[in-house]
Structure 1
């Protein structure tokens, strides 16, 4: 890892000149912390200061507090303090957190350690209604990948409904595919939600320049 960091340092030596003392990222992204999801590589980002990246299991924007659920501080920070006006929630195919929540909801799993259980609670709570909507004849993997979309939609909706996120902040949902679930190449991010709009036809009409990247597995 340090050898890789040495190569990184040599390549990036001059790229911090304009951002050493302040940051104004164009977007904040929250992705699953899965080791197969390389956030900056996902966007081919090599510009320090361009994207404020957050990662956790299940790409959650929700933080539980004694007073109720709030927008997670790591997601909210750039919106509150650096002028960031785009938030992107990125799920991924075969998500382990969604899988664990699904199995828990369907009675097919054992107890998780407390820290993991705490992180899964806001996902499981919001996936329950989605599980009830699933067609009965789906395989587990097909069900999980549809719930990955449902989870992204729920996280997007939470941001849109929060009074801490201004109305002029655009909220986008996407799914990163490395399992050949969506049409296209492995490693592509597929847009599934923009500001709460989830209908692919409507989204393609709104943004024809990215029509080929707007794909959903499931409309519920």
Structure 2
């Protein structure tokens, strides 16, 4: 057996010992407080970024590019992965989690600018779901911006587009708070690697407005780009 599997199973045994009593109140149902939509990236630690070790608290979804939409025969719809806890478990907070240096955003940027490489069909499909949302953002980028800065600005722009999709859809009640954040491990926002920075709340992106409205988290509200 591959040593990676052996090591993972050993760690799981430790996990099972530690968590053995933590499922007693939720073996038959769940009522998560928040649903998060994160990027499928090994550097984005979905639960650990919140220091969460409580089963049933965070309903985690992940895909490349932290997308909230999927394509169906009827057209684009908000993914059932995201809607399920909102519709069925009374979850009233949704957080879209982008991250600095996102590979999916980079691939979409390259596809839009004509520099994209050929990808397997499944990856091509996922990137194709991102590119329509990012085209206007790419067009709005300053001509003198570096590639690295362009990607990180588009990370915010992509978070904004995903938040907008949730805010605008009828199935997400107005009572649900929709928050967009960026997880930073590249010292883009600060030197505190692993810190989450709020960039959007319910579609509002103006930093001063957000800080005035949400003064309790003012220090955590920051954007790289206002377009």
Shorter-chain TM-score: which interval?
over 0.9
Q: Deviations over 1:160-181 (max 9, x none)?
A: 1111111111100000000000
2:168 — aligned with what? 161
Aligned to 1:219: 226
SS in 1 for 2:150: helix
CA RMSD in angstroms comes to 0.7
**Which residue does the alignment assign to 1:208?**
215
The correspondence for 1:33, drawn from 28, 40, 62, is 40
User: Across the two proteins, how many residue pairs are aligned to each other?
Assistant: 220
| 2-structure distance, mates of 1:210, 1:80 | 28
- Residue 172 (structure 1) aligned with residue 179 (structure 2): yes
**Structure 2 CA distance, aligned partners of 1:14 and 1:130?**
48
User: Paired residue for 1:8, among 15, 35, 38?
Assistant: 15
For 1:28, what is the secondary structure of its paired residue? strand
Unaligned 5+ runs, structure 2:
1-7
Alignment partners' CA distance in 1, 2:207 and 2:144: 24
What's the CA shift for 1:207? 1.1
CA distance in 1, matches of 2:176, 2:218: 22
Q: Verify: 1:118 aligned to 2:107, yes or no.
A: no
SS in 1 for 2:47: helix
| 1:158 match: secondary structure | helix
Q: Tell me the secondary structure at the aligned position of residue 39 of structure 1.
A: coil
What is aligned with 2:189?
182
Matching residue of 2:105: 98
**Secondary structure of residue in 2 paired with 1:147:** helix
Cα distance in 2 between the residues matched to 1:212 and 1:84: 26
Q: Distance in 2 between matches of 1:20 and 1:35?
A: 28
2: CA distance, partners of 1:66 / 1:165:
22
What TM-score, normalized to structure 2?
0.95
What TM-score comes out, normalization by structure 1 length?
0.98
Aligned pair 1:73/2:77, yes or no?
no
1:85 to 66, 81, 92: 92
**What corresponds to 2:4 in structure 1?**
none
Question: Do structure 1's residue 195 and structure 2's residue 202 form an aligned pair?
Answer: yes
